[in-house]
Structures are given as C-alpha cells and as structure tokens.
Amino acid sequence: MATEMNKTYNPSEIEDRLYKKWMDKKYFHAEVDRSKKPFTIVMPPPNITGQLHMGHALDNTLQDILIRFKRMQGYNALWQPGTDHASIATEVKVTNKLKEEGIDKEELGREGFLKRTWEWKEEYGGRIVSQLKKLGSSADWDRERFTMDEGCSKAVQEVFIRLYEKGYIYQGSRIINWCPVCQTSISDAEVEYEDQAGHFWHINYPIVGTDKCIEIATTRPETMLGDTAIAVHPDDERYKDLVGKMVLLPIVNKEIPIVADSYVDKEFGTGAVKITPAHDPNDFEVGKRHNLEEINILNDDGTINENGGKFAGMDRYEARKAIVKELEEEGYLVRIEAHEHNVGTHDRCHTTVEPMVKKQWFVKMSEMAKPAIEAVKNGDLRFVPGHFDRTYLHWLENIRDWCISRQLWWGHRIPAYYCDECGEIVVAKEMPSVCPKCGCTHFTQDEDTLDTWFSSALWPFSTLGWPEKTEDLDYFYPTNVLVTGYDIIFFWVIRMVFSGYEQTGKCPFSDVLIHGLVRDEQGRKMSKSLGNGIDPLEIIEQYGADALRLTLVTGNAPGNDMRYSEKKIIASRNFANKVWNASRFMLMNIEKADLSNVSLADLTPADKWILSKANSLVKEVTDNMEKYDFGVAVAKLNDFIWEEFCDWYIEMVKPRLYNEEDTTKAAALFTLKKVLTISLKLLHPYMPFITEEIFCSLQDEEESIMVSEWPVFEEEFDFKAEENEVEMIKNAVRNIRNLRADMNVPPSKKASVYVVSEKEEVRRVFEDSKVFFATLGYASEVHVQADKAGIAEDAVSTVIPDAVIYMPFAELVDVEKEIARLEKEAGRLEGEIKRAKGMLSNEKFVSKAPAAKVEAEKEKLEKYTAMAAQVAERLSQLKK
C-alpha cells in the first residue's frame, strides 16, 4: 500500500534515518554463502588522519554504485572497508599536538609516544569513517579493519619473515628519498613534484695535465662536494679522447675520472655531467657500473657533514651560496642561467627531498615483478581504461628495489633483532633467546618501522584473514574490482598485485577501474594554497548526499578528470526534486483504481511506448554499468526520467487520470507505477537515499530497494510498433509548439488542429492518441482526415513524415491586436536603427571609441535591420 510523501524533498530529513535503517537491518553485511556467487571490492583505506575531500567522495561513490548494483543483481556482495595507520602523517599530527602541550617526543620515549598515538587514533581515527557513512557508503562496517590491528599486523610480520627467508628482503646502502625535516626515508608515493624557479650553474672542471676545462651544468652546486666522476656519452666525438683522463674537482681539489656512460644525453647542455652517486638516483646507477665511490655529504637534518670540509655544519642552501661565491672568486664559474625545474618535495611537510645513500631495508623487485607484468600481458589483470596498462608496465619493467624502512615510531616495527655481542641479525616473530652465532642472550630490536605501503600492499587478502586459511579468504578472494585514482597506480596497485601473487599465488583482483581527479570549475587541481577546495560535507548538508553523488558521476568517464561546479550540483538537486514531485503526483492518484487486474490488453499505445522505452533502458544501463561506464548510464537515466517519463508520459496520462469516466485509468496507473519502480531501481546505486524513500512509499511488498532485484529486460514489454507510433505523435507536438513559439502564441491560447494524411495507418495512430495529443498540442479540438476539406485557407502548417498538421491562423492570432503590436515593434526598431546609424556615421565616435564598442554597434545595426525586415514581412501578410 502506497504511503504519503512530504510535499517537498528535504534530504536532511531522510538520509540519516535511512542509513540507520540499512545498518540496523545489516543490509551491508556479507557472510559466506556458497549458494551465491561472491562479488568483492576492497576500499582503498583512507588515512586515519584524513578528512573527507572530493577525491574520497568520488572514489567511494564509484565503489558504492558498483557494490549496490551487484548486490541488487543477486551477488553476495562484500565491500571490505578499513583505514590506514598513515605512519608519517599520524606521527606528525601527534608530535605537533605534544608540542602544543609542551611535551618533547624524544623525552616521552617510544612507548610513551605510541601510547599517546593509540589514544589519538581512538579519538580521531574514526572521523573519516563517519564521513563516508554520510555519503551513503554501503561498506560492510561490521568487518572494518585497520592496517595495525592484530590480524593485519600478523600478516605484515609473516610477509616480512617469508621474504627475508627467501632472500628477497635485505639490508643495504642504496639511494633513497630522504626528508631532512621529518628525518625519515619516504616512498615515491610521498614525493610531490612541483615546478620551482631555480638556476643552472655552469662550472669549469680543469682537465688534469692540460690547460683545458670541461664544462658541466648543475642545479645543485653543493652536491659537487660529493662528485666522484664526470660522465660523457660513449659516442660523443667531442669527448672521446678525454675518457679515462682525470679532472680536478674545483674547491675540493681532488682528482676524479672522466667515464663514458650511455646514460648521458649528448644533446642536452654540454653533453658532460657531474656524477654524485650518493645524491642522485641516476648517478647512483652510473656509480655502480663504474665502481665509483659513494660520498654522502649531508647530515640527516640537511646540513653539510664532515665530508664537506670547510662547509661542514652549514645548511645545504647556505652551503650552496658559499660554494657559488667561491667558484666565482676562483674563476671556475662560467655563467648562471635561470631554469625552472621539477623538484621533489615531501607531501606532508613540503620540504625539498634529498636523494641520499643510506643503510636501509629493501625488497628485491626483479623476481616479484615478473608475475605482475605477466598478469596484464595474459589478461588476468585488466585496466579500465586500457591505456593505463602502459603506465603500469613501464613502471614495473623499470622497477628498482623498494626501500621499506622508515625512521619512525608509529607503524609496524621491523621484526629484526641484533645480537648485542656479535651483531648477528635474526629475523623472527619474537625476540630470540639466544644468538645462533655466538650464544649471547641479549638482543636489540631494529628501531625502524615499515613503509605504510608494505601493509596496504597486503590489504586485499590480509583483511580476509590471511595468513590463516579462513573460509572468508577462500570464498571472497581474489576480489573482483579495485577502484582507485590514476595517481597511485604505481605505488599501491602494483604493490598489491606482486604481493598477491607472491603470498597467495593469485592476482588480488581482476579489474582495476581508474578514475581521474575532481578539479574546480576552471580545471585547476583543488588545493589549500589555491583556496579552491570544496568540502563534501558542506555540500551534503546544503544539497544532500544524493545530489553530490549524482554530480560526481555525471559526465564522468573512466580515467578522466572531472570539473565540479555549483551549477552542476544545483542541476543534480533539481533532478532529485523532479523525481520527488513526479513520484508524489503518482502516489496522489494511485488510490483511484485497482491495479491488480490490469493486463497487456488494457494498455494504450502511450503505456506500451513508455514501458518499451523503460525496458530498453534496463538493457542499456545494465550493459553500461557492467562496462563501468557509470557516467553514460546515469546520463541515459537522467534523460529518460526527466524527459520521457516526466515531461512526456505523465503529461500524456493526466487527461486519463482526471477523467472519472476514462476506462484506461487503471492501465495508466499500472504503467506509472511499473515505470517509476524500474527507474528507481536503476537510479538507486547513484542516488540511494531518495530512491529508498520513494520506493518504500510506493509499495510495501519489499522492505528496501537495496535488497530488491535489479530490473531485467522483459520480452513481453518490447513494443517497438507502439514506440514508433508515439514518437510520431511527439514529433507532431514538437512541430506545433515550435510553430506557435515562432508566432508568439501563448500556451493558454487553444486552436483547432487538423491532421491530414492519405495513409490510413497514420490516421489511426492520431485517432487513438487524440486525448493526450490535444493536451500536448494545445488543441481546442483535433480533426484527423485524409484531405484538406474544411480547413481555412489562412491555416498555417507544419510537416511530419506522412502527414501535414494545419492550424487556422485566425484561431491562433487576434489579427487586429497583432497588427497593433507589430506596428509598435516596427517603430521601436526604426528608432534603434536610427540611433545605431547615427553613432556609426559620427567620425569622432568611430575614430576614438574602442574597436570592440564600434564592432558592437555594427552588430546591433545588423540585428535590428534583420528584425525590422521580419516584422515588415509579418505585417504585410497580416494586412492581406
């Protein structure tokens, strides 16, 4: 039984209530059920420090659309949620909070700091989860995980030990990203590249034993303190004779060799480059190939160390100025040129990152990358859109060993123990009792923690109970789809893929759906510095979660960025209002007839037309959603609901509903209810709240649209003939409306409409549709005939295929009033033409006014002249 709906749609009145209902009913929860096919997605875990932003909103909206769709299709759908401990971000937040309290992190000690961090996590860590709920996310919150919970921590430890025992994890000195402010190594994912204004310093390095020099250019003069070679390309004729010779390193006054290496671009700059293996990733590789010394010239805080000689103790930028000054004084500086270049900064503190050779823990990547590469090549892993596989493969095929240790306290501590006596390293789940090498019983655990990405790389299977052989893991893994932005393909997707293969022998998901960024109206990336960020929670409060979700997916195509604007959110809210009002109209009329006995035979052509259109829509939308074309699917839904259903069909059936004698009223209401129900179900994944509220008001057979069945194409509602018939009527209505608009005839002015066609079938169609055709065509009466008999000679006409529509001119227009109106308009236009001509004939105006102003007057004159000609022609016709 239908229930009454509020007069106006107010999302704030329904959203929290409906979300609570869904949670209480456990609609989001999934348990192993072997009678059903599973469908699993894992939520990219947001940081516990996070505040919901538009990127989160888009990412989670797309996942929610997908999981709601699959749930309605009958899958045992699991959306596995959770949060990430975010080592650096959390440590920075807690450290700053302690500073505000006057507490020094070091004085507090590791255990004290971790206690405070867990307290902070309990207080603030769940904030983003509650915000995701406001968005309508139907994740299985009963299964919520945290990357540092007991199960995930056990998985991390297990993987570390396995990889170490296999020889894939090792400790060594290699080049890494170092943040001098946070004083930790950081991953590539935490390095943001930004264009910065800088310089190229051109410096002469004297060639030993000659009076010649070799010129190089650098953006970081201070690193020359650690230079150990000059490199040139092996095929560069300019330097062939110099390979093997020595140059004198300016200021340091140390001889270093000239080496030949194909890494050098002989077309760039002078074709000679300085090699500083300890402070540049490419130089590090060159150094390995030529057995060059690695000289680290920096302390952890970014000051110059003892290897910098007289510059020791200086800040890196202070040392740069001093070195440049000395180079100039000693005649080594050739020139300085301005140069804008890409500089890596730490995404947390925005400090310029220093590449440094440090002793760290690494994962060997060469072998683990192979199955991840093969997965894309053999089709086990598919990217949507497909071109992202090139990005994925390029990164994997050029992969470097992964630095996994971090100089932080918050995170998974590395399970490596050092013998206090002999230094033997023991990797184990617990501190060993005795050293296997020297028998000592005292050990110290490694101080470092693991890179946050190490734990999130295990997310698809650690959240399902791995390393235990759980029923959940067996049933829900591998997962089906991963939804993520294109900015973390390398960092997270790749790590999950190679970790999945290494630990479970399976690819962790079959599809990766890539989305773009949400940009502002001008196409700029949202950022604090630009002040153009939009708070999704404020949008939800003002317009509702459904309007935000619809906005984020409208026009959205996989892999492409989208622009957010207030205009779009208002359009989404207006659409919600349209759906609400159409539903209220139907509910207000539904009690007027018994729908239980309506059969196909009772349906009119208009009913069959809209049912057939809705039936085709089911097939198209389902197909689009299976292909992840959510933006295309929702555009079709919007067009169908707004135009076909609301603007056409509802207007078509109003005369039947308002006529107590009409015997087709029940058929109209049956059709309204069926088409609205189909539309709501197709719309539900996009706009879950409004569709649930209307659905539960519309019927009481099912308690929630969330657990109702997804619509399927039904052969019995495939009415192609009736579709063609009604499209003919619509075509005639459009032409009538256009003709009336051209003549400025208001909708309130009714006129006789004559449909003339030699074809009996066409006449039958218009006869059968007279009731709604008259309403839609603003007709006082409709005549359907085979010839022009009885039609006034002054009738205006419009042509459609196989028919001509006539309307008597005198019924459309009061001739005397129209002549008076047009004569007044002609006078006005004559005045405008005279004024424009006067200005354009004024030499002072033409010579002194801005060119745009003069051009505007010319355009006005042209426009008014054309309008005056049209008015004159119309007057001429009327006066005849």
Residue 528 annotated as binding site? yes
Cα–Cα distance measured from residue 773 to residue 358, given in angstroms and rounded to the nearest whole number: 81
pLDDT at 99 over 80: yes
> Within a domain: residue 543?
yes
Q: Describe the strand order of the beta sheet including 246-249 as a list of residue ranges.
A: 246-249, 254-260, 229-232, 272-275
The phi and psi torsions of 714 (rounded to 5 degrees) equal -120, 120
622-638: per-residue pLDDT in tens? 999 999 999 999 999 99
Boundary of a domain, candidates 686, 718, 750: 718
Cα–Cα distance measured from residue 617 to residue 667, given in angstroms and rounded to the nearest whole number: 21
Higher pLDDT, 339 or 510: 510
Q: What is the mean pLDDT of the chain?
A: 92
pLDDT at 618 over 90: yes
Going by pLDDT thresholds of 50, 70 and 90, the confidence category of residue 183 is: confident
One domain, residues 769 and 842 = no
Boundary of a domain, candidates 483, 515, 547: 515
Contact 654, 736 (CB under 8 A): no
Cα–Cα distance measured from residue 354 to residue 78, given in angstroms and rounded to the nearest whole number: 42
Q: Find the mean pLDDT for residues 858-872.
A: 88
Into how many domains does the chain fold? 5
One domain, residues 708 and 729 = no
> Within a domain: residue 177?
no
Residues 6 or more apart in contact with residue 49 via CB below 8 angstroms: 86, 89, 90, 93, 124
* Cα-based angle 726, 732, 736 (whole degrees, multiple of 5): 145
One domain, residues 808 and 831 = no
If you ran DSSP here, which 8-state letter would residue 447 be given? Answer: S
One domain, residues 63 and 147 = yes
One domain, residues 380 and 396 = yes
pLDDT at 619 over 80: yes
One domain, residues 801 and 830 = no
Q: What is the pLDDT of residue 529?
A: 67
743-763: per-residue pLDDT in tens? 888 888 999 999 999 999 999
> Within a domain: residue 8?
no
One domain, residues 560 and 696 = yes
Contact 340, 200 (CB under 8 A): no
Q: Find the mean pLDDT for residues 503-524.
A: 91
Boundary of a domain, candidates 764, 797, 813: 813
pLDDT at 338 over 90: no
306-337: per-residue pLDDT in tens? 999 999 999 999 999 999 999 999 999 999 98
Going by pLDDT thresholds of 50, 70 and 90, the confidence category of residue 848 is: confident
If you ran DSSP here, which 8-state letter would residue 645 be given? Answer: I
Q: What is the pLDDT of residue 443?
A: 95
Going by pLDDT thresholds of 50, 70 and 90, the confidence category of residue 688 is: very high
Q: Find the mean pLDDT for residues 215-222.
A: 92
* Cα-based angle 250, 256, 258 (whole degrees, multiple of 5): 110
> Within a domain: residue 523?
no
Q: Find the mean pLDDT for residues 62-75.
A: 98
pLDDT at 425 over 90: yes
Q: What is the pLDDT of residue 43?
A: 96
List the domain range (segments joined by +) for residue 754: 723-813
Higher pLDDT, 796 or 396: 396
18-50: per-residue pLDDT in tens? 999 999 999 999 999 999 999 999 999 999 988
> Within a domain: residue 527?
no
- Residue 543 CA, chain-centre distance (Å), reads 20
344-365: per-residue pLDDT in tens? 887 777 788 888 998 999 999 9
Q: Find the mean pLDDT for residues 795-805.
A: 88
ω before 371 within 30° of 0 (cis)?
Answer: no
Q: What is the CATH number of the domain that holds 737?
A: 3.30.2320.20
> Within a domain: residue 757?
yes
Q: What is the CATH number of the domain that holds 861?
A: 1.10.287
pLDDT at 771 over 70: yes
> Within a domain: residue 421?
no
585-604: per-residue pLDDT in tens? 999 888 767 888 888 989 99
pLDDT at 437 over 80: yes
pLDDT at 514 over 80: yes
* Percentage of the chain lying above the pLDDT 90 cut: 69
One domain, residues 109 and 228 = no
Q: Find the mean pLDDT for residues 239-243.
A: 91
Q: What is the pLDDT of residue 26?
A: 97
Instruction: Could you list the beta-strand ranges (E) of 741-795.
Output: 751-756, 779-785
One domain, residues 338 and 457 = no
pLDDT at 2 over 70: no
One domain, residues 623 and 692 = yes
* Percentage of the chain lying above the pLDDT 70 cut: 99
> Within a domain: residue 838?
yes
One domain, residues 669 and 685 = yes
Higher pLDDT, 520 or 704: 704
One domain, residues 496 and 573 = no
DSSP 75-130: -EEEEE-EEB--HHHHHHHHHHHHHHTT--HHHHHHHHHHHHHHHHHHHHTTHHHH
The phi and psi torsions of 131 (rounded to 5 degrees) equal -70, -35
pLDDT at 531 over 60: yes
Q: What is the CATH number of the domain that holds 642?
A: 1.10.730.10
pLDDT at 814 over 80: no
Q: What is the CATH number of the domain that holds 249?
A: 3.90.740.10
